[in-house]
Amino acid sequence: MQDQLNLTERELRIRNYSPKTVKSYLYGLQKYFTFKKLNPETLNQDNVRNFLLYCEQSSISAQSRNLFLNAIKFYYRNVTKDVQKIDIHSAKKPQKLPVILSRNDIEKILQTLTNKKHKLLLSLAYGAGLRVSEIVTLKTQDINLEEMTIHIKQAKGQKDRISILSEKLVNDLEQLIAAKNQNAYVFESERGGKLTTRTAQKIFENALAKSGIKKNATFHSLRHSFATHLLENGVDVRYVQELLGHQNIRTTQVYTHVTNPKLKNIKSPLQ
């Protein structure tokens, strides 16, 4: 089993898959190989279906099951070179609306923060629509204070993109990065080097708890809120798609379901 995992990892790295995808695929394959027990290199489509059913019965999410299926397909197509088409469709994912924080919510959360760097971190994440992985890997060279832009490099899908910078944050950012070299992280840990994503998430969680806001929000809700508030301001959904780095506009259009002004203006018939 380990030999097959090693071969898969080699192939994934040769094809320049992201470290996160490599880790996820290997995790999924390990679960599949453990379930299959014998001869993992021999494809049996009924066995794959039974594995996915086992995962569903084990309350593994549709998103994770789809990832496992993609890993299995990659393994047989690119490692064992099996020419059979795995005729199994992805699981239908539940359509959930994102948790959105209002502008007032954002202000309350930021006001709870006494640590200037922590406040700037959350402000920048919201103001530019950054993922937690993007904010912790941001370097001083990625910020252009003259052009008021942020260059997000090798983000999800290993794609670069440009996002916007709020004028409100320029002075604080200038002070923070003034003495740093171009390759330094904007938000360094106390021991040097970048913050962990968990540390950034904890900063948000603590601020949310102190704010008294009862919404089931996460760090990613800042990004959801960025997109929603831009649409409320009348920004075209295609520009929002570009700022978020979404490959498919349908991913961005989910925010139109939570910010439709015409829908909000409809009065209930119960008077």
120-145, pLDDT tens digit by residue?
999 999 999 999 999 999 999 999 99
Q: Are residues 74 and 114 in the same domain?
A: no
Residue 92 covered by a domain: no
Strand order in the sheet with 143-144: 143-144, 149-152, 161-164
Q: By residue range, what is the domain housing residue 11?
A: 2-79
* Residue 64 near residue 55, CB atoms below 8 Å: yes
pLDDT digits (tens, 9 = 90+) for 195-228: 999 999 999 999 999 999 999 999 999 999 999 9
CA atoms of 127 and 225, how far apart (whole Å):
9
pLDDT digits (tens, 9 = 90+) for 237-246: 899 898 998 8
Tokens for 248, please give them.
């498919």
Residue 190 vs residue 25, higher pLDDT: 25
Domain contains 124: yes
* Domain identity same for 132 and 35: no
pLDDT digits (tens, 9 = 90+) for 60-114: 999 999 999 999 999 999 999 998 999 999 888 777 888 999 999 999 999 999 9
107 domain-assigned: yes
If asked whether residues 227 and 109 sit together in one domain, one would say: yes
pLDDT at 263: 67
Assigned domain for 88 exists: no
Which residues are part of the catalytic machinery? 131, 156, 220, 223, 246, 255
Per-residue model confidence (pLDDT) at position 75: 96
Residue 52 falls inside a structural domain:
yes
Average pLDDT, the chain: 91
CATH of the domain at 67: 1.10.150.130
113, 198: one domain:
yes
- CATH number for position 150: 1.10.443.10
- Judgement on whether residues 59 and 139 belong to the same structural domain of the protein: no
Residue 268: inside a domain: no
Strands (E) located in 56-209? 143-144, 149-152, 161-164
Task: Using the 3D structure, point to which of 16, 47, 79 is the last residue of a domain.
Answer: 79
User: Smallest Cα–Cα separation from 209: which of 201, 229, 223?
Assistant: 201
271, part of any domain: no
